[in-house]
A and B are shown apart, each in its own frame.
Chain A
């Protein structure tokens, strides 16, 4: 047993008092699975490139939300006014008012457990698998938010702000989010994971998303940690007929930032678009693992992840597209492009398709390269100095992903955040406008 698992109280784990029976069972199963498997090692295919050896020996204890209001004030300052409808979680626990608007209901899970627990039964814990970190979250999460969105909803994006606020080293938190869109509902949801205070913290996050027939969700997920933060995120999506899901991941900081996406199109005519942008410097490690399943016919998926990796940093992209037997009219395209800025940085990219159908168009591809010398020479030959030219080309390598963020203040803030991390990024502030 590793210190990491042992210290979180998984052994002899008891369900929470407010847990309905189905949740208590779910927690027990997850707990059993995690204890049986232990932490993944480099022999586990999906963890081949992400070492957990340091984490394994680390003792962590569940963090409280004692400093909640202070942390929320801090986050407000970080985020500025971004014209979104916000809710905050500190160390996985809702703090402050929940949000509501026409056709939108955002309620703390704990409140629903008290009043109407069975309304969560259909999807909570049913969409995400319960292996490894998703399992740890299932066993240990205390609270979170459920977002229920009706077809009458329109208006501002909902912004779920997660703050890991470790007051001492070794805090763990387990944020849990459930997003349900009823038939033909449309929404724009942003999740931002921030780390405060620079202490060692481990955030094991799970978000489950269900899209009923014809529903449409734009989902931006931001990993913005600091030098002490470990983020192990799971995003599970189930899509019904003709629904459209767009996930955009932005990773701009954190000692270890990993996101696993499992998106399943279970009805015909569904669309799933995953893209993302990552920037890793120093000794940061950032990993995106995606699995898209085409379980029905006439579904479309696209994937485009672009990243910049510098210093001794390490980036991983591992994407699987699964096309089930007997499906027809599938379109599946996957791309991963990496800009390598240093000889000591590492990139592992593994795009692949698992196809059990012959009626489809599909493609996948990956590139790893440095700044194009022809592009660099062109800019310099016009009088732009080398550092400025490199910074222009580095930013322009990933900007297409950031430019797709619809909510302008959020896009501007993330762009500025990226520029603040790039060498000579300040020189190109005007380019980003």
Chain B
């Protein structure tokens, strides 16, 4: 599904990703863990196509096609979804309008007919239940005045609506209390599918108690330092990243 080969990227002339190799087959959930500044968020942004990064080497293929030349909207239409660490607030833009525009753009790319207002609302109500997002929030302006937990639930709601092939969850657990974490994770688990891959980017093992990964990678200083199974996450939780960063355990 996703294949990353020797990916190097810089931002403002500073080298951040220094040769990443990663294979995520269809249906698998991979976690990427690492200390602050290791390049986790950069990797998610580079995959989604955010401006401000220069790819100096390497390639990324998604579903057999080269990804890096594509515009962000074309990646989304091809099935890449990024759940943002900091979802933006858009006063003046209703969730319903925004998501209908997004969904119909994605459906068009998939060769499907656009949904009309009624079918869209029916689908939205059904999917909103997955993350317990009430009707009021669905109809409000995008994330405007939402709590941290509501914003993250809204991200997963969008993912449920757009049904991507690859979901990248960038620090989805940050800023969530334990109840919100459980709700968000339940939503994500409900979307696990043999045709859908997921890349879960997180600093802490906590999230992986709820969303159990098939594979865990440790990203340190722009490279994958180790790959293992879910036990690797527990080991990191116990020992920290000192072994990889060369710094003493504090």
A positions within 8 Å CB-CB of B: 372-375, 377-386, 388-389, 392-393, 395-397, 399-400, 430-431
Contact = CB atoms under 8 A, between A and B. Distances in A.
Contacts of A377: 48, 50-51, 72
Interface of B: 48-51, 71-73, 75-77, 81-82, 84, 87-88, 90-94, 97-103, 105-106, 109, 158, 162
Contacts of B97: 430-431
B93 A380 contact: no
Contacts of A400: 91-92
A382 to B, nearest CB: 4
B104 to A, nearest CB: 9
A198 B41 CA distance: 54
10 contacts: A375-B88, A380-B49, A380-B72, A383-B103, A384-B102, A386-B73, A389-B73, A396-B92, A400-B91, A400-B92
Contacts of B93: 392-393, 396, 431
Q: Is the interface of A mostly helix, strand, loop or mixed?
A: helix
A378 B84 contact: yes
A374 B50 CA distance: 9
A396 B48 contact: no
Given A377-B51, A383-B77, 8 more contacts: A375-B90, A378-B84, A381-B84, A382-B76, A383-B76, A393-B93, A396-B90, A431-B94
B226 to A, nearest CB: 30
Contacts of A386: 71, 73
Nearest to A402: B92
Contacts of B87: 378
A393 B81 CA distance: 21
A373 B52 CA distance: 10
Given A373-B51, A430-B97, A380 B76 contact: yes
Nearest to A433: B97
A432 to B, nearest CB: 9
A431 B87 CA distance: 20
A373 B77 CA distance: 20
Contact of B101 (A388, A393, A396, A397): A388
A383 B99 CA distance: 10
Contacts of A388: 101
Q: Which 3 A-B pairs rank lowest in CB-CB distance, beginning with the nearest?
A: A396-B92, A383-B76, A382-B102
Given A397-B92, A399-B92, A383 B84 contact: no
A389 B103 CA distance: 14
A378 B105 contact: no
Nearest to B93: A396
B92 A385 contact: no
Contacts of A378: 84, 87-88, 90
Given A377-B50, A377-B72, A384 B101 contact: yes
B127 to A, nearest CB: 14
B162 A383 contact: yes
B118 to A, nearest CB: 14
Contacts of A374: 88
A392 B93 CA distance: 7
A286 B51 CA distance: 34
Given A377-B72, A392-B93, A431-B94, A383 B102 contact: yes
B92 A382 contact: no
A381 B51 CA distance: 11
A89 B30 CA distance: 70
A371 to B, nearest CB: 12
Contacts of A384: 73, 98, 101-102, 105
B233 to A, nearest CB: 27
A385 B158 CA distance: 17
Contacts of B84: 378, 381
